Amino acid sequence: MGEEVKRGYAIEFRFSTDEYPKGNRMDFNRMYWVQMDPLYYLRHAMIIKAESISFADDAGSFSGFEETGLLAELDDDRENARVATIRLLRFQATDTFITALLGSEPHGPMARFLEVTRNDELNKLVDYVAKQTVHETLQISGVTSFSEWLSFKVFRQKAKSSDDILPDEIVKFVSFQAEFARQKNLYNAFKHGFRIGYGIIPEFELKDTQGSDPFISTRRFKNPVAWVKWNEKRNQRAPRVEIGVTECDPIDDMAAIYAMAMLLRAMRRVRIEPKGTTISLQLPS
């Protein structure tokens, strides 16, 4: 213990799940919900949204940057950088929210679900949520509709009446977020930094067969982000290059992050607070 822990390193405590006597097993689901912060991405997004200090104002923290001209580059196009960061936070918030829904009781434990359900298998489950259907591996006995399933996942109990079922607006919101999460090329562009940039985007227009005014033009995009993806597969005659452009909407992204945070917050309270606690759920209109 006398040796200093190196900066940036983490300490892990590992133990086997069979080390606890039968009947005295640790509640791994509760452990997850106690530690998880439902406001994590909302808090970060609010910080980014409110941030207005120039890098040059804090030049003392960046020794030598003034001479290289880097501070001027960092301050360039700050608004698009801010908007793109909020979009990235929305992707991460959606990822967290959807997987929490899928892996919550009676499935899981959450930690196990997050570890063993990945890639194509996870994508398939997300596809089902986007279509407002339930995959056979996640069905719940006695629950027949998607809205009932979603209500059980949030409140951890079967609906006794129609008043216990989440309204259609929330059901549609959740399925839309699952559809949003299916944009893997776009998510990876943000997550791994495969972006071309904020201002350097390909200019193109889409017109109908009559050649009338374009109904989509990248010249009209506000806060655009573009990316490049290289697709190369075996037995493919030639590699395929994909160039994509998206328009970021910070107002819509913030509203989605807020709504998912409120849903996760309700889910957490249901699971860690004493029975009988009144839990309200209010989402932005």
* pLDDT tens per residue across span 219-278: 667 777 877 778 888 787 888 887 778 888 999 999 999 999 999 999 999 988 888 777
CB atoms within 10 A of CB 105: 17
Question: What are the strands, taking DSSP E only, across the chain?
Answer: 195-197, 205-206, 216-217, 224-231, 240-247
Place 94 in a pLDDT band, splitting at 50, 70 and 90.
very high
> Does the structure show a pLDDT above 60 at 80?
yes
Higher pLDDT, 119 or 69: 119
Tens digits of residue pLDDT in 255-269: 999 999 999 999 999
> Does the structure show a pLDDT above 80 at 208?
no
pLDDT value of position 161: 86
Residues 254 and 183: their CA atoms lie apart, in Å, by 18
> Does the structure show a pLDDT above 60 at 126?
yes
Question: Which residues have CB under 8 Å from 64's CB, separation 6+?
Answer: none
One-character DSSP codes across 97-157 = HHHHHHHSTTS--HHHHHHH--HHHHHHHHHHHHTT---GGG--TT--SHHHHHHHHHHSS
> Does the structure show a pLDDT above 70 at 63?
no
Q: Across residues 74-97, what is the average pLDDT?
A: 87
Which residue do the tokens 């909020």 mark?
Answer: 86
> Does the structure show a pLDDT above 60 at 211?
no
At 276, which amino acid appears?
G
Q: Across residues 149-170, what is the average pLDDT?
A: 90
Question: Which residues have CB under 8 Å from 14's CB, separation 6+?
Answer: none
pLDDT value of position 2: 45
Tens digits of residue pLDDT in 164-188: 899 999 999 999 999 999 988 888 8
